Chains A and B, each alone.
Chain A
Amino acid sequence: MPASDEQDFEEFVVARRAALLRTAYLLTGQVEDAEDLLQTALVKVVPHWRRIRDRPEPYVRQVLVRESVSRWRRRRWREVTTDEVPESAARESGAEDREDLRRALRALPPRQRAVVVLRYFEDLTEAQTAEALGIAVGTVKSQARDALARLRRDLPALVEEPSVVRG
């Protein structure tokens, strides 16, 4: 690959790393996992860079969410999930809300979590979400419905999401 490809890639990473880390964090719920997930996704993107260089972000996001789903599948047999929050100092109200959401997200199956992140954080349409995850639009709808139902149960303070019926 010519040197300009590498330069383009580096510029993209520098420019978009922070935003992609935010998505990765929502997908994983852990700082270390988020960094690891993003690094893996970016490494896997390199072989395809020439093809996607004009518009790389959708493909990077696609690799990111699919890797998060498949990674969870590979790991779940050796991970033990827990609802116990690590011991911490007295938490402020905002911090408690974030922790509740983080815990609720982690309690979702990975694909539902990915649908929630793409639809309500990345603001993608159902069709774009389906393409990113490689699933049918109908599956996106059902996964979103189930995920929201579970989040409302776990987070009673959550208000009705206006964008649920969109796209």
Chain B
Amino acid sequence: MSTLADRLADLADDAPHGTGDTSGASGLWQQGRRYARRRRLETGALVVVLLLALGSVGTWVLPSASYDVAPADASASLRLPDRLFTPSPYLPGTDDVGPVGPLVAVFGAERKTWRGTASNALVGVGAAGDYAFLDLPDVAPRSLGEEDQLALSTDGRFVGYWVAGEPEGEANYFGGDPVVGIAVLDTVTGDVLRHEVPTEHGLDVGGLVFAGDRLWADYGQFTEGAPRGAGTASSTGAPPVLWDVTSDVVTEHPELVDADLSAATHAGARLVRSRERAVEVVEPSDGSAERWRLDVATEGASVVDPTGRRVAVLADLDGRGTVTSGVPKVVRAGVLGSEVPVPTQVVPGEGVAELLGWRDEQHVVGLTYRPGAYVSIDVTTGETERLVLLPSVTWSPSTVVAADALTAPTFDAPEPPSVVAPWVRLVVVSLALLVVGVALLWWRRRARV
């Protein structure tokens, strides 16, 4: 009978006896040196593999981190992307990436917070095809939902929108939060210019349209307060105002009272208003208007080229003077001259749903559906060329394009990055770091054994 310790010591006597010479020890030392070199190489390779794996995860899951929006460049020439995409709802905003520079287009898109809460937002497309949500301070819901209540200057530098706020008296919530003024985002500097309008109950907005770098705004004054969801509201008319955003001078134009800017366009710096059988071109300096009677009833917005000579209209075939959305309409084109009424000729082809402007002296740009696209139409031959394929999933407001972009060359537009939800990024990055940490711990532990 003996203890375990005694029996272990006894058994250990069966162990081989080591030799006393140092030659074997020297060989072990050399082997150890080679082992150390091999370990260093293996460790380096492991680190490279882990970094590559992390990089792969990063490029897949963190595109927003590497999403490089081109810096704002006031002199950047606009180019027309051949396609616009529905961006990720987790796309960064201008508050994150800074000023994005002149915009080719602005349109509505769904935006989500890191918790997944969705809301309507405006996304801007830069001259290089970059996408960013526009963080517009105090933007009124109307400007987030209707393209007529949102304006983009000719050169794409300024974005005009209605400002929501508290009126002086009881607020009128007809149509959403009360509007108390207009604002312009300078996409180059990031500054926001505001023009507050004194109002008792809020403004009954009519329309916003840029002509050059002057913003026309049409609104009335609500005569009384109203709760949310009110079915009707009364307002008084007010003369439209013209805001020169470069000099920050606002002028009223009472001579244009009852002006309807919802279907207004522009010809260079001049405002173009469409009437049932007429087109009116307004000089911004004094508000004087040239009026031409047309030989056809029109529907929707008519477009006049920057020289003020050529006009294109959509014929109102049913003669009811109402806009029929989504239905292709016949395009007619003519020259504004001395002949009265102005004769227009039918442009051959399938027609378009809306007219946007002139691409050059011979081509007019229109909107078609199925698929949604901007097309260039030769007003003589009717030959049609697709310019821009619009997003497959559309939100309100629909696309507003800078006029200069309509005359610019097209380019093969890159798709914006598919930004995944922040919480997904957090989970994946945490897991990746955990895996790397465990791998390194395992490696160190293995190295010691």
Interface residues of A (CB under 8 A from B): 1, 6, 9-11, 13-14, 17-18, 20-26, 31, 34-35, 39, 42-47, 49, 62-63, 66-67, 69-70, 94, 97-98, 101-102, 105, 116-117, 120-121, 123, 134, 148, 151, 155, 157-159, 161-163
Q: Is B15 an interface residue (CB 8 A)?
A: yes
In the complex, the answer to whether A158 meets B15 with C-beta atoms within 8 Å is no
Q: Is B25 an interface residue (CB 8 A)?
A: yes
Total contacting residues, chain B, CB less than 8 A:
37
Given contacts A43-B28, A121-B8, 16 further A-B contacts (CB under 8 A): A6-B26, A9-B29, A10-B26, A13-B25, A43-B35, A44-B32, A44-B35, A98-B7, A98-B14, A101-B8, A116-B4, A117-B8, A148-B4, A151-B4, A159-B1, A161-B5
Q: CA A26 – CA B21 in complex, angstroms?
A: 24
> Which of A11, A101, A157, A158 is within 8 Å of B11, CB to CB?
A101
Q: CA A54 – CA B1 in complex, angstroms?
A: 40
Q: A26-B11, A46-B36, A121-B12 are in contact. Are A21 and B449 (CB under 8 A)?
A: no
Q: Residues of B contacting A9 with CB < 8 Å? A: 25, 28-29, 32
In the complex, the answer to whether A46 meets B28 with C-beta atoms within 8 Å is yes
- Select the residue from B18, B31, B35 with max chain A CB neighbours within 10 A: B18
Q: A14-B22, A21-B18, A159-B3 are in contact. Are A42 and B11 (CB under 8 A)?
A: no
In the complex, the answer to whether B5 meets A6 with C-beta atoms within 8 Å is no
In the complex, the answer to whether A21 meets B5 with C-beta atoms within 8 Å is no
Q: Is B228 an interface residue (CB 8 A)?
A: no
In the complex, the answer to whether B7 meets A158 with C-beta atoms within 8 Å is yes
Within 8 A of A (CB), among B13-50: 13-22, 24-26, 28-29, 31-33, 35-36, 39
> Which of B19, B22, B31, B447 is within 8 Å of A10, CB to CB?
B22
Q: Residues of B contacting A31 with CB < 8 Å? A: 14-16
Q: CA A6 – CA B29 in complex, angstroms?
A: 7
Q: CA A70 – CA B448 in complex, angstroms?
A: 11
Interface residues of chain B: helix, strand, loop or mixed (majority):
helix
A15–chain B nearest beta-carbon distance, Å:
9
In the complex, the answer to whether B449 meets A44 with C-beta atoms within 8 Å is yes
B340–chain A nearest beta-carbon distance, Å:
99
> Which of B12, B33, B39, B446 is within 8 Å of A22, CB to CB?
B12
- Select the residue from B4, B7, B20 with max chain A CB neighbours within 10 A: B4
Within 8 A of A (CB), among B143-199: none
Q: Residues of A contacting B24 with CB < 8 Å? A: 13
In the complex, the answer to whether A45 meets B32 with C-beta atoms within 8 Å is yes
B273–chain A nearest beta-carbon distance, Å:
84
Closest to A6 in B: B29
- Select the residue from A6, A151, A157 with max chain B CB neighbours within 10 A: A6
Q: Is B9 an interface residue (CB 8 A)?
A: yes
Q: CA A55 – CA B74 in complex, angstroms?
A: 70
B210–chain A nearest beta-carbon distance, Å:
72
> Which of B12, B16, B28 is within 8 Å of A26, CB to CB?
B12
Closest to A41 in B: B449
Q: Residues of B contacting A21 with CB < 8 Å? A: 15-18
A10–chain B nearest beta-carbon distance, Å:
4
Q: Residues of B contacting A70 with CB < 8 Å? A: 446, 449
B102–chain A nearest beta-carbon distance, Å:
61
Interface residues of chain A: helix, strand, loop or mixed (majority):
helix
Q: Residues of B contacting A44 with CB < 8 Å? A: 32, 35, 447-449
Q: CA A11 – CA B12 in complex, angstroms?
A: 23
Q: Is B370 an interface residue (CB 8 A)?
A: no
B338–chain A nearest beta-carbon distance, Å:
97
In the complex, the answer to whether B15 meets A101 with C-beta atoms within 8 Å is no
Q: Is B2 an interface residue (CB 8 A)?
A: yes
In the complex, the answer to whether B5 meets A123 with C-beta atoms within 8 Å is yes
> Which of A43, A155, A163 is within 8 Å of B31, CB to CB?
A43
Q: Residues of A contacting B16 with CB < 8 Å? A: 21, 25, 31, 34-35
Q: Can you identify 5 A-B contacts, CB atoms within 8 angstroms?
A: A6-B29, A9-B28, A31-B16, A98-B7, A98-B14
Closest to A9 in B: B29
B27–chain A nearest beta-carbon distance, Å:
9
Closest to A102 in B: B11
In the complex, the answer to whether B17 meets A18 with C-beta atoms within 8 Å is yes
- Select the residue from B13, B14, B445 with max chain A CB neighbours within 10 A: B14
Q: Is B286 an interface residue (CB 8 A)?
A: no
Q: CA A26 – CA B187 in complex, angstroms?
A: 78
A24–chain B nearest beta-carbon distance, Å:
7
Closest to B23 in A: A10
In the complex, the answer to whether B32 meets A43 with C-beta atoms within 8 Å is yes
Closest to B18 in A: A17
A111–chain B nearest beta-carbon distance, Å:
13
Q: Residues of B contacting A25 with CB < 8 Å? A: 11-12, 14-16
Q: Is B10 an interface residue (CB 8 A)?
A: yes
Closest to A32 in B: B16
Closest to A5 in B: B29
Q: CA A117 – CA B4 in complex, angstroms?
A: 10
In the complex, the answer to whether B8 meets A163 with C-beta atoms within 8 Å is no
Q: CA A78 – CA B257 in complex, angstroms?
A: 96
B406–chain A nearest beta-carbon distance, Å:
70
In the complex, the answer to whether B31 meets A98 with C-beta atoms within 8 Å is no
Q: CA A3 – CA B116 in complex, angstroms?
A: 65
Q: Residues of B contacting A45 with CB < 8 Å? A: 32
Q: Residues of B contacting A98 with CB < 8 Å? A: 7, 10-11, 14
